[in-house]
Structure 1
Amino acid sequence: MQTIGIRQVSGDLIAAAAERGEVLGITNGRVLAGVLMPLTTKTVEHLLDQNLTRIVQNIREGEREAAAGDSVSLDDLMNEEPRPTSRRAPERVTIRGLSGARISAAADAREALVVTHAGAAIALLIPVTLQWVEQLVDRNLSRIRYSIERGEREIAAGGHMPTLDELLEESQSASDAADVSAAPPRAPLSPPAGVLEERAIGIKIVSDDVHGVDRLVGVVTDMLARTVHGPIEMPLPDWDRGKVLAKILDLIGDLQARLIPEHEHLTGVGLGVGGHVHRGTIINSPNASWHKFPLASLIRQRLDVPVVLENDANSLAVRERFLGSVDDESMVVILITDRGVGSALVLNGQVFRGAHGMAGELGHIPVETGVRGSTTKCRCQSSGCLEAAAAPYSITRTLKSEGVKEGYETTGNGQGGVVHQTLVHAGEALGRAVATLINVFNPTTIVLYGPQPLVGMPRTFRGTEGPISPGAASVYMSAMTQAAHAHAFSTGAEECKFVVRQADDTDSAAAAAACVIQQFAPLAGKYALSPQK
């Protein structure tokens, strides 16, 4: 990119850059202040095409509204007050009017400038902001990192050592391919060759009262968090910290042995666990009775790769975003396991962890009151928690206290029985908690992971859900959705989409791997699977 000073800008220079298909860097005191993009015929056609696409979409929406009987007359549209909008047309500035102060003001407002000459718009000037520079540096650091790693492997293998220009050109080509926006349906993108050789290890720490076998489950994944080796299970005799650490290191060794020598390379290790996790330390895990256990740093000391420790619900949210399974910028992931209830919050496309990593502890918000609340004890030793009312272990505990020997899985949805009443109460408790999430965060989607006997088969729905099939899931989920709509404010629940899924230990281990990929292999994230529409 050619750079010129502000006072050197002229109509002839911009016209010459347009003919070459180039952009110009505008400097102010030897500092890059903006990027000048000539408005060629091709650029104008592209902008026109974008607006035509929006117009066509509006026409189609109008046709659908007319078919539904919701159309309005032309007179009504003409008399309608203009809709407020935060957008405004870019300011116009002549070449002579360009100055460092004018560009700086546009940068502060995060707006572009239309540069005019002889009364015609000839270029678009994009101010260089700190955010723009940070994104540019982050993208290039990712490319350079992978280029260096590939070079190191080529040297170690004694093969061809490409030049730096070749490496950067290959990475740029791959990056450009990832940025191309094609019309749906979009085919999944493929990572560049170097990324195809990278692997991540994911390990889920499982506390299992139902089957009586606490264990570790580990997998090896590619850079799309898809399992390529494993799973491998390793039982845990007890929750002694030293013994668990030794078992995790043994499992990592077994998984590393699955890697194909000279063809697969370990990028990092991800660990998933239920409980409060912050900066690589398990602050509090009621499942394992751990407090302030710096597990990630203890493992990192014994390995030469990054280690990431994450809450199990958060890791599933990361994998949802990573794979593009749910293409929403604002969603909630709720995880119901035999041992409890957790959740993860995705706000503006990022997992929100709170000031100290405790955000999303849905299972420990109080939903029980009165006599029932005071007698419903949670594993955290508090009373009235959601987990103590809606989790599978609490439902089973309640049924046993009522003299019901069979589990809730075998029940029909007959009205009035103890099992039916217990499931309705549990579902309503979860629904009140869901309404709280909707009222506070207004998500577009809630993804609910849970055991099939309790939440039913995978599906997507909106609104209240009636009977889905005979059994516990129909009772539990119907009570949940009805309570959520009853307690959610305004249209929050109506506009929220529910997605029901199941996740086994292998999925959770792969989700842990996605966390280390996201943090330490940023280039790989550009090649995640396209959203499934």
Structure 2
Amino acid sequence: MSMAIGIDIGGTKIAGGVVTADGEVLATVTKPTPAADPNATTNTILAVIAELRSNYEVTAVGLGAPGFIDNSRSKIIFSPNITWHNEPLSQKISSSTQLPVILENDANVAAWGEFKFGAAQNHHTAAVITVGTGIGGGIILEDRLIRGSYGFAGEIGHMNMVAAGRLCGCGANGCWEMYSSGNALVEYARTRAAQTPADASKMLELAGGSPAGITGLIVTKAASEGDRAAQDSFREIGKWLGRGMVNLAAILDPEVFVLAGGVSEAGDLLRVPVAESFKENLVASDYRPSPLILLAKLRNSAGLIGAADLALEAVKKKV
């Protein structure tokens, strides 16, 4: 049975797993990310791999990392959260483990996991939108992961949605993620709680009475318990997500959109307003097939499953 190790490298944790060719996760290991020290991060990745290899015979390693990955899938050009610049991570891991290694953007590996084994399974064209702190994405066209000419495709969170809009962390103004991400959800909720506290009683109760104490988890819990301001905050980011997805549909014409990432765990609190906004804004919506809008199935395992599967595919192609 073919097995590979998939590693999902995040700003706070490094999650690894042994994954079969059928997408089954046999074992996992998670360690904190020493993000301020790139060398320590590499050593932590190696420690995760070593622990997993101690009980399983694997044929390859797949790495999912945040940031820009070159199209050869060997180098991290830039990663804002781990201070990697032109980092030959694939080569370092391969030299230390003596295993074939592929490196891919973290949103791309999560998208591939959902495409092969999750919500987008049995579809050929899909757009997976990771709604977390920001907005990430992975695009599958006719069963192929789209990386672009230089490896930077899928940075959909930085589509411009509002001319001269809110300043984004990338330095541009009006990016999609400034209006439809987890950070945007919390910002809407805090503002609403400050302006109309009577509508945000549950959120304020959970936050100790202060709008500044409202978190994403609090917004989700309060919305599920009927808090009007919390529900309106989900409707607001859903409105913007739907509008952005209409733009993607005009370009990609996907069979399915998959909503992934931490915010998607709110379920229909997010999916329903997204679907309503999408239908409202889709050109000729009454005369064309409309893509499915689904919630991710693999949740936190999507990245490591997708990374491992891409590594297995790369090995298979070389045999």
Give CA-to-partner distance per residue, 1:45-101, whole Å, 9 cap, x none.
xxxxxxxxxxxxxxxxxxxxxxxxxxxxxxxxxxxxxxxxxxxxxxxxxxxxxxxxx
SS in 1 for 2:301: helix
Alpha-carbon distance in 2 for matches of 1:506, 1:387: 23
Percentage identity across aligned positions? 25
Alpha-carbon distance in 1 for matches of 2:60, 2:230: 46
Give CA-to-partner distance per residue, 1:187-230, whole Å, 9 cap, x none.
xxxxxxxxx1x3211111122xxxxxx1111111122231112x
Checking the alignment, whether the CA contact within 8 Å between 2:115 and 2:126 is kept in structure 1 is no
Unaligned runs of 5+ in 1: 1-195, 208-213, 260-264, 457-467, 525-533
Checking the alignment, whether the CA contact within 8 Å between 1:217 and 1:505 is kept in structure 2 is no
Alpha-carbon distance in 2 for matches of 1:416, 1:382: 34
| 1:490 and 2:287 matched | no
Checking the alignment, whether the CA contact within 8 Å between 2:260 and 2:296 is kept in structure 1 is yes
Superposition deviation, residue 484 in structure 1: 1.6
Checking the alignment, whether the CA contact within 8 Å between 2:113 and 2:303 is kept in structure 1 is no
Alpha-carbon distance in 2 for matches of 1:401, 1:289: 32
Alpha-carbon distance in 2 for matches of 1:351, 1:479: 28
Q: What residue identity is the alignment partner of 1:400?
A: R
Superposition deviation, residue 321 in structure 1: 4.1
2:67 to 275, 290, 297: 275
SS in 2 for 1:380: coil
Superposition deviation, residue 494 in structure 1: 4.4
SS in 1 for 2:102: strand
Report the counterpart of residue 250 of structure 1 in structure 2: 47
Alpha-carbon distance in 2 for matches of 1:286, 1:493: 40
Checking the alignment, whether the CA contact within 8 Å between 2:64 and 2:303 is kept in structure 1 is yes
Alpha-carbon distance in 1 for matches of 2:174, 2:126: 26
| 1:232 and 2:39 matched | no
Report the counterpart of residue 443 of structure 1 in structure 2: 254
Map residues 115-514 of structure 1 onto 2, 5 A cutoff: 196=1, 198-207=2-11, 214-229=12-27, 231-259=28-56, 265-278=57-70, 279-323=73-117, 326-337=121-132, 339-369=133-163, 373=165, 376-400=166-190, 403=194, 404=211, 405-406=213-214, 407-412=218-223, 418-451=229-262, 455-456=266-267, 468=268, 473=269, 476-491=270-285, 494-514=289-309
Alpha-carbon distance in 2 for matches of 1:247, 1:514: 22
Superposition deviation, residue 446 in structure 1: 1.3
2:311 to 501, 509, 516: 516
Checking the alignment, whether the CA contact within 8 Å between 1:286 and 1:380 is kept in structure 2 is no
Q: 1:345 and 1:453, CA in 2 relative to 1: closer, same or farther beyond 3 A?
A: closer
Superposition deviation, residue 307 in structure 1: 0.6
Alpha-carbon distance in 1 for matches of 2:55, 2:20: 13
TM-score with structure 1 length normalisation? 0.51
Unaligned runs of 5+ in 2: 195-210
Greater Rg, structure 1 or structure 2?
1
SS in 2 for 1:288: coil
Q: How many residues align?
A: 294
Alpha-carbon distance in 2 for matches of 1:303, 1:379: 36
Checking the alignment, whether the CA contact within 8 Å between 2:259 and 2:294 is kept in structure 1 is yes
Checking the alignment, whether the CA contact within 8 Å between 2:271 and 2:295 is kept in structure 1 is no
Q: Determine which structure has greater relative contact order: mean sequence separation of CA pairs < 8 Å that are 6+ residues apart, divided by chain length.
A: 2
Report the counterpart of residue 197 of structure 2 in structure 1: none
**Shift >6 Å, 4+ stretches:** 413-416
Superposition deviation, residue 323 in structure 1: 3.7
Checking the alignment, whether the CA contact within 8 Å between 1:334 and 1:344 is kept in structure 2 is yes
Task: Name whichever of 404-413 and 267-276 sits farther off.
Answer: 404-413
Q: 1:228 and 1:417, CA in 2 relative to 1: closer, same or farther beyond 3 A?
A: closer
Q: What residue identity is the alignment partner of 1:233?
A: T
Superposition deviation, residue 363 in structure 1: 1.0
Checking the alignment, whether the CA contact within 8 Å between 1:363 and 1:386 is kept in structure 2 is yes
Give CA-to-partner distance per residue, 1:477-500, whole Å, 9 cap, x none.
333222222332224874211221
Q: What residue identity is the alignment partner of 1:507?
A: A
Alpha-carbon distance in 2 for matches of 1:347, 1:275: 22
Superposition deviation, residue 369 in structure 1: 4.1
Report the counterpart of residue 199 of structure 2 in structure 1: none
Give CA-to-partner distance per residue, 1:434-465, whole Å, 9 cap, x none.
00111111111112213367541xxxxxxxxx
Alpha-carbon distance in 2 for matches of 1:333, 1:224: 20
Q: 1:493 and 1:243, CA in 2 relative to 1: closer, same or farther beyond 3 A?
A: farther
Alpha-carbon distance in 2 for matches of 1:200, 1:512: 9
Report the counterpart of residue 201 of structure 2 in structure 1: none
Q: What residue identity is the alignment partner of 2:44?
A: K
Checking the alignment, whether the CA contact within 8 Å between 1:300 and 1:306 is kept in structure 2 is yes
Q: 1:503 and 1:367, CA in 2 relative to 1: closer, same or farther beyond 3 A?
A: farther
Q: 1:266 and 1:415, CA in 2 relative to 1: closer, same or farther beyond 3 A?
A: closer
SS in 2 for 1:309: strand
TM-score with structure 2 length normalisation? 0.82
Checking the alignment, whether the CA contact within 8 Å between 1:452 and 1:502 is kept in structure 2 is no
